[in-house]
Amino acid sequence: MAATRGPRYPARAGLVRAGGAALCGLGSATVTVPDATPAVSPDATPGAARDARPAATAAATRAATPVSLAGRRPEVPVARLLAELVPPRHFAAESFDTYLPDPQFASQGSALARLRAVAAAIREPARGSWLTGRRRAPAPAVYLDGGFGVGKTHLLASLAHAVGTDRTAYGTFVEFTNLVGALGFAPTVEALAGNALVAIDEFELDDPGDTVLMSRLLRELADRGVALAATSNTLPESLGEGRFAAEDFLREIQALAARFEVLRVDGEDYRHRATVTEGAPLPDAAVRAAVRARPGATLDDFRTLLGHLAQVHPSRYGALLDGVSAVGLTAVGPVEHESEALRLVVLVDRLYDRDVPVLLGGSGARGLFSPAMLRGGYRKKYFRALSRLGALADDGGELTASG
């Protein structure tokens, strides 16, 4: 499955727009990764980072396997954080044309048609005119609301592609909050305001501080004429959560609510992964063997990796995976602390964005998060992580099956 998924996303070379680069004091748009870490399997490295790495270094370290994630400490220049605001690799080839509305759910066709129009409006904004007194229309803002697996991310990525990835900043909610953490609020506004569209996948409402922060960020961007698009963060419907989140979203972003148009996307889970998969874990020895057989695969003891994640800023977890073709974890077991669990969620998101298969030893995903965590305020994140980890572990299992 992994082999057929996700064509490599073309790196947005020279991708930092003038505003961001100037503001961050970065003279050049070239993305470099000053990374003491060995580069594993350069062929598998996505995007800009690999292209910027000196070929000699990559060649010299190519043979070194298995590498551990815990041995890597990537430094990520701000330019790269901005450059990585593109749709995930998994959706690189998707467009409005590849979204096939289900005739049984009229809202899918309507959402598609509306988004095509929104893309056109962003590409060619209607001009205001002082002669006729016509004011320039505010930039569009849309919120895609729907259950799990109905194609919201597919549509959001398609919108970004239709507008142009060089004029769009596309990221998950967490990536944007990390960016504010790394740059500060005002510089983030400046860095993002040069875009025609800011697209936020999986708008999270479970942390009041972050929600307020994002709401403020979006307001400033909207005031500067940037179009906005966001998607809801919903659980697999079988887990019994409300399927639609628009009311919560509009309440939380009160100052902006009137500007957002809610596009509802009904439907069934396209992946038919309505339940969280909990595939059987692999024996640790099988994880080690599979990693050894696969160039670019990493091997870590689960608890050691959790400890390491505390030492690396979450905005760097993507860079931690540079060149990694698969992640092998031995002695996987329950995560004890919420802070560890939340870091793990971010790592799983970055693994999922990059389609990196995962091999889980120990007890695997079973009991990874405690019942208290799965009932608590961050449960949506945990269920999402379990669902994604299940999919990636399925891919990892296929690696062992295929030798």
Ligand X SMILES: Nc1ncnc2c1ncn2[C@@H]1O[C@H](COP(=O)(O)OP(=O)(O)O)[C@@H](O)[C@H]1O
Q: Could you list the residues that contact ligand X (CB under 6 A)?
A: 94, 98-101, 146, 148-154, 270-271
First to last CA, the chain: 14
Q: Which residue is nearest to ligand X (CB)?
A: 151
Contact 178, 319 (CB under 8 A): no
Closest CA to 340 of 298, 362, 366, 309: 309
**What SS3 class is residue 32?**
coil
330 binds Mg ion (CB under 5 A): no
- What distance in Å separates the CA atoms of residue 64 and residue 61, rounded to the nearest whole number? 6
Looking at the Cβ atoms of 149 and 296, the one nearer to ligand X is 149
Find the shortest distance in angstroms from Cβ 264 to Mg ion: 15
User: Which DSSP state fits 8?
Assistant: P
Q: Which does 20 bind (CB under 5 to 8 A by kind): Mg ion, ligand X, none?
A: none
With CB under 5 A as the contact rule, the residue among 153, 165, 215, 387 that binds Mg ion is: 153
Q: Does 45 bind Mg ion (CB under 5 A)?
A: no
Residue nearest to Mg ion (CB): 153
Q: From the CB of 328, what's the least distance to ligand X, in Å?
A: 25
How far is it, in rounded angstroms, from Cα 287 to Cα 291? 6
Containing H/E element for 206? Answer: none
Partner whose binding site includes residue 154, from Mg ion, ligand X, none (CB under 5 to 8 Å by kind): ligand X
Cα–Cα distances in Å, from 63 out to 11, 42, 297, 356, 403?
25, 11, 12, 20, 20
**Distance from C-alpha of 354 to C-alpha of 9, rounded to nearest angstrom:** 10
Instruction: Choose the contact partner of 318 out of Mg ion, ligand X, none; CB within 5 to 8 A by kind.
Output: none
Least distance to ligand X from the beta carbon of 262, Å?
15
Shortest reach from residue 36's CB to ligand X, in Å: 35
Report how far residue 338's alpha carbon sits from residue 123's, in angstroms, rounded to the nearest whole number.
43
Q: Beta 227-232 vs 141-146: how paired, if at all? A: parallel
Which partner from the list Mg ion, ligand X, none does 100 bind, CB cut-off 5 to 8 Å by kind? ligand X
Q: How far is the CB of 101 from ligand X (least distance, A)?
A: 6
Tell whether residue 233 is a contact of Mg ion (CB under 5 A): no
Q: How far is the CB of 63 from ligand X (least distance, A)?
A: 35
Q: Provide the binding-site residues for Mg ion, judged by CB under 5 A.
A: 153
